[in-house]
Amino acid sequence: MLILAILLQAAEASEEVVVVGRRSCDLSIAGRAISDKALDRYAAEWRAGRGVTILVPAELRTKCLAKVMFRLQDRGVTQAEFLDAP
């Protein structure tokens, strides 16, 4: 938990930290699920140059990660950093 807090603090200035749900491919920020409308707003910032880091639980399958990236790519986001969740 401490590592997650440190990652969140370090990324606040330049990047948004998004977490992929453990049981689904849902995205959340600060513990709140991201709706499609909210994802559109975030994606506009990420396209404009603000970075996005996606924390991924180890047990998720590659298919889920692909689904997440396809959702972002549909909104014009072409770069994201995927990190293993602590």
The owner of tokens 């990652």 is: 7
Tokens of 19: 């977490």
Tokens of 59: 């047990």
CA distance 2 to 25: 24
Q: What is the pLDDT of residue 1?
A: 54
The amino acid that residue 36 corresponds to is D
pLDDT digits (tens, 9 = 90+) for 12-66: 445 678 888 877 788 999 889 999 999 999 999 999 988 899 998 888 888 888 9
Q: What is the pLDDT of residue 12?
A: 47
Global pTM value: 0.74
The owner of tokens 């590592």 is: 3
Residue 54 dihedral angles phi and psi, to the nearest 5°? -115, 115
For Cα atoms 10, 23, 21, give the angle at the middle one, nearest 5 degrees.
20
